A and B are shown apart, each in its own frame.
Chain A
């Protein structure tokens, strides 16, 4: 997997909530839909569990993009964890700019357990978006330093 020029395959970390998005990803698999292999999924019980430091740590470790996905607003298995995730991601996006990371590399999506098709589409589309942005150079420097 070349990190430069042609054939760049972005590395994307996806934090998926157990009840909606992770099930949606499972459904996409069970239904044999094509989704992006670039997405490396980490299951969390709720999108509210995603500590902003995890996202920064992912970028630091060389991720080119981070996807946080939870239940649709109002459908959270834990009542309102996704609303907390929304607050955190919006604030973190402002900080990413200061770190020199394009905020388009971080994405928050609501994907229900029934939306396997949507999960597949989001994974493909986000991968294309990150591919267009190119490798996250900053991350490499930081890791080296």
Chain B
């Protein structure tokens, strides 16, 4: 540890600490311009100068760069220091009179305007003050070195090589982030790496997946993280005191041996973009159910308020049921949850805004416990429900002067009229779809899928959680659209079924097995070539084949192929099947 005195206060710091750090630790304010805590000091702006007592007298040093030494005596607000800073600022103000950060520091030193005039005078508020932070950030932090200082003397400016679009630039935005004046602007072209807020909010490369994430740790988006593009940066590692950030982590494949598997891979939501009539992705303020859900969330981008893109509250909101469900062109099935969550939206939007609500439904399916009561409650709250499919959503003003609002065209089948309803926001209750990788998962576990694409249970009524493959169970929306109470019930049933097998400690296998009648077997081994489970082995001493009944699954392929009739399939012997044949053809 090193002891030193700053402005009369004595402190102890670790070796290698800069004077600026030590001063900030003592709460002594020193202005800086070209300094950033995560970038190596550059000592270019000379705003942070302080006075140090040396054996030969007093010396002005840049505090961001000078390190603490034993017994040092430092003064940060001596007249000498202040006049030096004032002169630096005055020279800068002469060139850049309107830059806010310079004006702020100047005002603190009692400086109004510069006494000098400069031929390079730049009146802009966001002028480049040549601090070089962007150049150093790009080189040192990002490692891209896409920008640098060009020319010398009065011509010095920040630029890309030859002023051309740089191929090295990875558009990370670090330069714009560190720029103290806002000279460098970053206009994001896409919404890469912003899933948590469903594109309703900007985000960073390291973020909390959701407000209530379990485990509650941030994740790194490899596609946006600078480190994974250039190998540099890692500033999050530097600032993380417990040292929890690790860029070397990779996905691990862990092999776990299990006896039973519950397939509960959930669902995807239908992308309403192909339904051009609903203008999703084309017109503003047309949202899917999940996007509104995010907006209604108190930790969401609007803090739970229902707002239009322009920040105003909507005057009327249209909620369209059955978007992609019960539709011959997309999904014929009913997604089951939409009617109820649409009514919930009607209730919540009504509660949080003064907007008029219009629900457009085909049939109101309030099928569960307490659901019908909720439906009538929402009706009593004054939501309008219109029976009819919306034909299209178009952009139209509510009056001749207004632009940008929405108009819903629909048929009200209860009054037999065509209606046009002006709204500000449209919510699409999009369908539940099978997961996009359901086919691969199904192939992996030998599961069939019903025509709607969801996994098929063993029996629709008698065995709704098991599948055709022993030990594989299904639950939740992987098996078909269902609401939370149904999912919980089905998942509990599946878990109970699996636990029952575990607690029994043994698995009963079907008695349907192949067996070799050794006295008839000639040892030709036709059967063993056919067996997909390698359950048939050849006994050399006896010159006969033998079936391992633990491996045999009882398909009977070998029985059908045995030329000597030595192979029998219990439960499906030749005699039994021939007798069945005689039976079914008796009449």
Contact = CB atoms under 8 A, between A and B. Distances in A.
A40 B585 CA distance: 8
A75 B449 CA distance: 11
B582 interface: yes
A53 to B, nearest CB: 8
Nearest to B468: A19
B311 interface: no
Nearest to B450: A114
B512 to A, nearest CB: 6
A58 B580 CA distance: 10
13 contacts: A40-B585, A44-B577, A45-B556, A45-B572, A49-B569, A52-B560, A58-B581, A61-B585, A78-B532, A78-B555, A79-B533, A84-B560, A84-B561
B578 interface: yes
Contacts of A79: 532-533
Interface residues of A, number: 40
B557 A40 contact: no
Interface of B: 446, 448-451, 456, 459-461, 468-469, 512, 530, 532-533, 553-557, 559-561, 569, 571-572, 574, 577-578, 580-582, 584-585, 587
Given A27-B460, A79-B532, A42 B580 contact: yes
Contacts of A109: none
A112 B447 CA distance: 11
A102 interface: no
Nearest to A24: B448
Given A11-B585, A40-B585, A77-B468, A49 B557 contact: yes
User: Mostly helix, strand, loop or mixed at chain B's interface?
Assistant: loop
Contacts of B451: 114-115, 117
Contacts of B585: 11, 13, 40, 58, 61-63
A3 to B, nearest CB: 12
B177 to A, nearest CB: 53
A48 B569 contact: no
Would you list the 4 A-B pairs with minimal beta carbon distance, nearest first? A49-B556, A48-B557, A78-B555, A40-B584
Contacts, number: 97
Contacts of B459: 26
A80 B555 CA distance: 10
Interface string A74-104: 0101111100100010000000000000000
Contacts of A40: 584-585
A114 B560 contact: no
Nearest to B442: A75
A58 B45 CA distance: 100
B584 A42 contact: yes
A16 interface: no
A30 B461 CA distance: 9
A106 interface: no
A38 to B, nearest CB: 11
A54 B565 CA distance: 13
A127 B522 CA distance: 41
B395 to A, nearest CB: 43
A50 B584 contact: no
B571 to A, nearest CB: 8
Nearest to A23: B468
A112 B584 contact: no
A26 B459 CA distance: 9
